[in-house]
Structures are given as structure tokens and as C-alpha cells.
């Protein structure tokens, strides 16, 4: 199955945010970020159908009501799947972030997210040693807010009910450990090619962009998302794998196609460049 999604370049979340360097360095030293031991294999990572974690999630029998579930693609090859639940006035939020570009990118996304705060000091402390390769948590017990990174995945888990999230965190960590692959890159969905009806056009002319995924497996659920600059191109038509744009201004315009597998949370990307000439 292939779904089509659209987003505007520069408006998606997930871009790094500026943090005071002194505050960031103090935090990195406090949690031992630069001492993190990583695998010598840059292609190692978790390759899993993330539907498999549903058996560990809160249930209606325990009084929890599902509130939302979402999958989104973000810059840098990041695909995120999140779940949220409510029980009375309490909420539980789980977010799985998978980096198709590998463990180094996952660590940087992890650090970027946990270090963004308006507080004078980043509040998190080193978390449990059994949780991923590095974890941080809010101080105190029970364990209610925790983030951890494991190879190409980082996880965010928050609960406001006052009950420890340790059982859920242990189940999620065990699931990831059982799905470690030595060849992450081989699990990515593949873009065969991206075609354009014309690579050079004039202002007010239209161009069709079509994304051609390689044959998908039955277990995959693919989604296409196309990033463009709305100041240069205006979307006029779309289908499951193609879109048509009208050129607005002269210049070079780069379009990036994202193909994600929303079950495995893995992504491939490809770019095409258009040369837009002034109208004659």
C-alpha cells in the first residue's frame, strides 16, 4: 500500500534548535554523552515492524483510553511513531523515533530533543543503565519521564499518573534488542527513480514530478512525501505517486522525495533539481 503526504520545505519539525553551548556541554558531561560506547559497525540498527509493541501498550482493561496515534516523517531521515493515552486526568505518551541514517544521527536527535529547555539548567539526569546505550530521566522516583537511545532508535516515554513506566520501558527495550540487524541499510524502502516531465521550464509553466518506488514487500506500508519550496513552486495536482507544480519565480529549485515504510519506520530520500527560467 502506498500513501501520499505533502509538506512544505522548512516548515517541518525536527530541525535542530540552538542551545546555550555552556549549558549543553555541562549536560553532556553530566550524562557521559561523549563517553558513549558505540558499535564499530555503522550499519547496525533496529529493523522491526513496530506494530509489535502494541502488546505492551496501556489497555482499556487498565483504565486507559487511546487518544491519538500518528506517524510522521521529519528531516534527516527520521520517522516517528507516537501513541498517547488518557486515564482520568493522567496521560501517557510514547514516541518511537527511528533514524534510517544510523546510530550517529539517532544520538544527535536524542541530544537535541532532551537539551531544549527554557530552564537555566537541563533538568535530566543519567537514567537506568539497563535502558539502551544511554538514557536520561527526570530526577526522583518512580520512573515517569525517560528518554533513551539504542543504536538508530531513540525513545521518549512520559507518564503523569504517578505509576512507574519501568515495566513498559523494559518491554520496549527487550523488543528492540530482539530486532537488531547488522545490515540496517538493506531494510530501507527503495526509490527506483524520480522522474520529471521537464527539468527546465519557464515561470507559469507546469511540471510533473513522479516518484517510482521499487517493488514493495507485502509487509511494507509505504508513504510518499514531497518537500518543495512554496515560494518557487505551487502544487496544482496530486495523485498517489505524482504531483504537478506551477513555477512561480525563476531560479534553481530543489525537490526532495521521501519514501517511508510506516510499519518499520524506515525512510529513503532522493532529490531532483529544476531550472526555472523567466517567462519569455
All domains in the chain, ordered by first residue = 10-185 (3.40.1000.20), 188-277 (2.60.40.10)
Determine how β-strand 134-137 pairs with β-strand 145-150: antiparallel
Contact 138, 161 (CB under 8 A): no
pLDDT at res. 18 = 60
Below-50 pLDDT ranges, the chain? 5-14, 16
Residue indicated by cell numbers 534553481: 252
Q: Return d(Cα 84, Cα 67) in angstroms, integer.
A: 5
pLDDT at res. 118 = 82
pLDDT at res. 52 = 97
pLDDT at res. 239 = 87
Q: What does the block give as the cell for 214?
A: 521499487
> What string of DSSP letters covers the chain?
-EEEEEEETTTSS-------HHHHHHHHHHHTGGG----S-TT-EE---GGGGGGGS--GGGT-EEEEEEEEEETTTEEEEEEEEEETTEEEEEEEEEETT-HHHHHHHHHHHHH--SSSS---EE--TTSSSEEEE-SSSS--EEEEEETTEEEEEEE-SSS--HHHHHHHHHHHHTTEES-GGGGS--EEEEEES-SEEETT-EEEEEEEEPPPPTT--EEEEEEE-TTTEEEEEE-SSEEEEEE-SSEEEEEEEEEEETTTTEEEEEEEEEEEEPP-
pTM given for the model: 0.87
pLDDT at res. 2 = 52
Write out pLDDT tens, residues 53-73.
999 999 999 999 999 999 999
pLDDT at res. 102 = 93
Gyration radius from the chain CA atoms: 21
Amino acid at each position: 500500500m502506498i500513501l501520499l503526504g505533502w509538506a512544505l520545505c522548512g516548515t517541518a519539525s525536527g530541525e535542530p534548535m540552538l542551545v546555550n553551548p555552556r549549558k549543553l556541554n555541562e549536560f553532556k558531561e553530566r550524562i557521559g554523552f561523549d563517553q558513549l560506547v558505540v558499535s564499530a559497525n555503522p550499519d547496525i540498527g533496529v529493523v522491526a515492524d513496530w506494530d509489535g509493541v502494541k502488546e505492551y501498550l496501556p489497555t482499556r482493561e487498565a483504565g486507559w483510553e487511546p487518544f491519538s496515534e500518528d506517524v510522521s516523517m521529519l528531516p534527516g531521515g527520521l520517522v516517528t511513531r507516537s501513541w498517547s493515552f488518557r486515564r482520568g486526568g493522567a496521560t501517557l505518551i510514547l514516541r518511537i523515533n527511528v533514524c534510517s541514517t544510523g546510530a550517529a544521527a539517532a544520538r544527535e536527535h536524542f541530544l537535541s530533543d532532551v537539551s531544549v529547555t527554557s530552564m537555566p539548567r537541563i533538568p535530566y539526569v543519567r537514567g537506568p543503565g539497563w535502558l539502551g546505550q544511554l538514557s536520561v530521566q527526570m530526577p526522583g522516583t518512580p520512573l515517569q519521564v525517560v528518554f533513551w537511545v539504542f543504536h538508530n532508535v531513540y525513545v521518549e516515554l512520559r507518564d503523569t499518573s504517578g505509576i512507574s513506566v519501568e515495566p513498559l520501558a523494559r518491554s520496549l527495550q527487550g523488543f528492540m534488542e530482539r530486532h537488531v540487524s547488522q545490515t540496517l541499510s538493506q531494510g530501507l524502502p527503495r526509490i527506483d527513480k524520480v522522474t520529471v516531465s521537464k527539468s527546465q521550464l519557464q515561470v507559469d509553466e507546469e511540471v510533473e514530478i513522479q516518484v517510482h518506488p521499487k517493488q514493495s514487500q507485502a509487509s511494507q506500508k509505504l508513504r510518499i512525501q514531497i518537500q518543495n519550496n512554496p515560494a518557487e513552486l505551487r502544487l496544482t495536482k496530486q495523485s498517489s505517486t505524482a504531483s504537478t507544480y506551477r513555477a512561480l519565480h525563476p531560479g534553481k529549485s530543489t525537490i526532495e522525495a521521501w519514501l517511508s515504510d510506516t510499519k518499520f519506520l524506515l525512510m529513503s530520500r532522493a532529490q531532483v533539481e529544476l531550472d526555472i527560467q523567466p517567462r519569455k
